[in-house]
């Protein structure tokens, strides 16, 4: 119920006299819209701008005479108007696109304006927020009943202006989108003769095809659908915000609406969740073409097998470079094999988790390969992490042995398991065989365990199998060129999954891995690097300081949002050919 302070704040007309009707209308909107979603999360082509610019365009929608007649018949059977039926179909499309079962659609209080003028004149007077509930798997008939009830209820209580409804609900407002609803629907058909003005010939917009307006229009909302009758057909248009949608996307949405309306007219007992949006071609593309994931790769191979094969092909090629030190593929293979043979003597085999707590040198990569060759799974332990976190990771992962060096041993918890100190046991490692041991490890065994950051709670160890990494490496072989992997920067911590692609995506296919303490060292490495991965903030600093060498052609940026200005600044460098966004949509993802 409205309390006196609410009524006073709204300053609703009539409260001093005919209080009941206005109070009932206000209470209706408060009850009906309470808890409604504030934003309809439609999939857009562009990120929502911080402020609406209202630039728009239109796409025509035309239903043939047969479908128009069937929709008229469907409406009559359920005591609904064509407006209600079309609104229900629009709600189904919006719900399916957004994944939301609670959809709010704006509509003019008077039903719409004149078809000849094309503008929803009714929006200027008052707008009603129609909340459509699609939960509980309703049939078409049940949804029509729900929509009819909501429309009739809204019309009975339309005396409260929209702005006062927003105030009543205390809806949060912002410059990026319209409050309560961002999508509208209008039925523009107005009975009577055509509008005639002296010296002017007026008619409805041309919607014979699926095209749209080539001249810019003002888009008040994200999407605005309007229909009207024209010579026995239902025709209309979708006005859309060009800051959010591309023309082809809205044409596709209009096609979804046609198919939903066809299925509604064909079977009103069908659950709306089973109404098809996709035509045969789009269904084939999404279900078959996009899921054609079969790829040829050695199903029986493990990660280290790929490196071993590459070492056999290019034994004298440089595999690792670090501060002037270089290891060839043959040298790295032998070094990793000796570590693996010693680990085998220490009980390492399939499913045994081995911690690696080492600085970023060639020994780090050799130790990782050594654990894999011994059949174990490596677990990164960053020396910079607090002791308590390292202790938790050791316990949670079930680590039985840690590879480290004497200078870092005191960073580990007091109850640390057995240690393999590479500097102390250098001679013992050198005495081992340079041939690969037989470990019995299989593709379904673990290759490594990587812990999450723990930013949303306790860190969690993610267990990765060899087979998963091998699939990734074969994908990288097809999507990273030989030139790019010819010299790739290794600057990512092995505590993050990107390091797997950096290290093994390079070494499995014959590239050179250039080791750096962090990405900012790129400016002073003194070594040609073609392919780099880093966070955008590091790239921005290198760009600002002129620290990106002319050898760099590809930058993969992730971990943070990538501003378009940074991407364009990188492309302005003469050498840069490709900038990859590994993070996700930002304010502009067109690079």
Q: Is the CB of residue 112 less than 8 Å from the CB of residue 190?
A: yes
Average pLDDT over residues 448-477: 90
Is 9 strand, coil or helix? helix
Q: Which is more confidently placed, 64 or 12? A: 64
CA distances, 452 to each of 455, 461, 568, 582 (Å): 8, 6, 32, 17
DSSP 484-518: HHTSEEE-S-TTSTHHHHHHHHHHTTT--EEE-SS
Report helix angle 498-507 to 466-479, nearest 10: 70
Average pLDDT over residues 4-23: 43
What lies within 8 Å, CB to CB, of 13 at 6+ separation is 22
pLDDT on residue 584: 60
pTM to 2 decimals?
0.60
Residue that the structure tokens 């179909």 belong to = 89
pLDDT on residue 197: 52
pLDDT-based confidence at 456, cuts 50/70/90? low
Q: Which is more confidently placed, 208 or 393? A: 393
Tell me the Cα Rg of the chain: 32
| Other C-beta atoms lying within 10 Å of the C-beta of residue 197 | 8
Q: Is the CB of residue 87 less than 8 Å from the CB of residue 105?
A: yes
pLDDT tens readout for residues 116-172? 444 443 344 689 999 999 999 999 999 999 999 999 999 999 988 988 898 888 887
Closest CA to 186 of 155, 228, 247: 228
Average pLDDT over residues 453-467: 86
pLDDT tens readout for residues 282-329? 889 988 888 887 767 778 899 999 999 999 999 999 999 999 999 999
Quote the CA–CA distance of 90 and 98 in Å, as a whole number: 12
Average pLDDT over residues 363-383: 97
pLDDT tens readout for residues 65-80? 999 999 999 999 999 9
pLDDT on residue 43: 93
Average pLDDT over residues 174-201: 73
pLDDT tens readout for residues 390-418? 999 999 999 999 999 999 998 898 877 89
Average pLDDT over residues 82-88: 97
Q: Which is more confidently placed, 96 or 208? A: 96
pLDDT-based confidence at 189, cuts 50/70/90? low
578-581/325-328 β-pairing:
unpaired
Lateral strand order in the sheet of 353-356:
418-421, 399-404, 353-356, 377-380, 446-451, 461-465
* Sign of the alpha-carbon dihedral angle for 430, 433, 434, 436: negative
pLDDT at 115 > cutoff 50: no
pLDDT-based confidence at 216, cuts 50/70/90? low
pLDDT-based confidence at 570, cuts 50/70/90? very high
Q: Is the CB of residue 144 less than 8 Å from the CB of residue 86?
A: no
Quote the CA–CA distance of 477 and 310 in Å, as a whole number: 13
pLDDT at 578 > cutoff 50: yes
Average pLDDT over residues 517-532: 94
pLDDT on residue 290: 86
Structure token digits, residue 469: 């990494």
Quote the CA–CA distance of 385 and 326 in Å, as a whole number: 29
pLDDT at 446 > cutoff 70: yes
CA distances, 508 to each of 21, 303, 313, 536, 548 (Å): 76, 8, 11, 27, 26
Residue that the structure tokens 């009943």 belong to = 145
Structure token digits, residue 496: 């993050």
Return mean pLDDT, the chain. Answer: 88
Quote the CA–CA distance of 37 and 127 in Å, as a whole number: 18
Q: Is the CB of residue 30 less than 8 Å from the CB of residue 180?
A: no
377-380/353-356 β-pairing:
parallel
pLDDT at 106 > cutoff 90: yes
Is 11 strand, coil or helix? coil
């Amino acid at each position: 119920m409205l309390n006196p302070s609410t009524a006073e704040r709204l300053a609703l007309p009539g409260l001093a006299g005919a209080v009941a009707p206005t109070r009932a209308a206000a209470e209706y909107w408060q009850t009906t819209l309470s808890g409604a979603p504030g934003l309809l999360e439609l999939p857009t082509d562009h990120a929502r701008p911080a402020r609406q610019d209202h630039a728009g365009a239109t796409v025509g929608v035309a239903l043939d005479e047969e479908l128009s007649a069937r929709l008229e018949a469907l409406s009559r059977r359920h005591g609904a108007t064509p407006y209600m039926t079309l609104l229900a179909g629009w709600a189904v499309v919006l719900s399916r696109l957004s994944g939301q079962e609670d959809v709010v659609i704006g509509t003019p209080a008077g039903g719409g304006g004149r078809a000849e003028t094309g503008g929803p004149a009714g929006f200027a007077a008052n707008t009603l927020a129609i909340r459509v509930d699609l939960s509980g798997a309703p049939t078409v008939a049940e949804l029509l009943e729900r929509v009819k009830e909501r429309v009739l209820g809204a019309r009975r209580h339309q005396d409260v202006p929209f702005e006062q409804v927003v105030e009543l609900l205390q809806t949060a407002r912002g410059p990026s989108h319209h409050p309560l609803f961002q999508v509208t629907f209008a039925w523009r058909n107005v009975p009577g003769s055509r509008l005639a003005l002296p010296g002017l010939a007026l008619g409805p917009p041309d919607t014979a095809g699926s095209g749209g307006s080539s001249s810019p229009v003002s888009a008040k909302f994200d999407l605005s659908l309007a229909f009207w009758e024209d010579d026995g057909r239902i025709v209309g248009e979708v006005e859309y915000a060009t800051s959010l949608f591309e023309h082809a996307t809205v044409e596709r949405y209009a096609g979804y609406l046609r198919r939903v309306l066809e299925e509604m007219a064909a079977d009103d007992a069908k659950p709306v969740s089973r109404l098809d949006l996709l035509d045969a071609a789009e269904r084939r593309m999404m279900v078959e073409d996009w899921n054609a994931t079969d790829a040829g790769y050695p199903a029986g191979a493990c990660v280290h097998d790929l490196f071993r094969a590459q070492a056999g092909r290019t034994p004298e090629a440089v595999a690792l470079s670090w501060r002037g030190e270089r290891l060839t593929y043959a040298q790295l293979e032998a070094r990793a094999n000796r570590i693996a043979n010693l680990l085998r003597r220490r009980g390492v085999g399939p499913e045994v988790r081995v911690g690696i707590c080492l600085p970023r040198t060639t020994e780090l990569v050799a130790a990782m390969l050594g654990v894999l060759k011994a059949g174990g799974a490596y677990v990164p332990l960053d020396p910079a992490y607090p002791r308590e976190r390292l202790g938790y990771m050791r316990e949670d992962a079930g680590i039985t042995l840690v590879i480290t060096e004497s200078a870092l041993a005191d960073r580990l918890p007091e109850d640390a398991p057995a240690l393999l100190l590479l500097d102390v046991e250098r001679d013992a490692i050198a005495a081992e065989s340079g041939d690969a041991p037989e470990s019995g490890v299989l593709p379904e065994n673990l290759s490594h365990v990587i812990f999450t950051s723990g930013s949303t709670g306790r860190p969690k160890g993610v267990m990765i199998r060899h087979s998963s990494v091998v699939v990734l490496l074969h994908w990288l072989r097809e999507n990273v060129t030989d030139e790019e992997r010819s010299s790739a920067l290794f600057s990512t911590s092995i505590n993050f999954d990107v390091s797997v692609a950096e290290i093994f995506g390079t070494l499995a296919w014959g590239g050179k891995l250039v080791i750096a303490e962090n990405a900012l060292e790129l400016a002073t490495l003194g070594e040609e690097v073609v392919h780099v991965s880093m966070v955008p903030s590091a790239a921005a600093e290198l760009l600002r300081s002129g620290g990106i060498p002319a050898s760099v052609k590809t930058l993969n940026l992730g971990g943070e949002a990538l501003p378009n200005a940074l991407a364009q600044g990188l492309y302005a460098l003469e050498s840069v050919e490709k900038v990859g966004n590994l993070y996700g949509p930002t304010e502009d993802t067109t690079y």
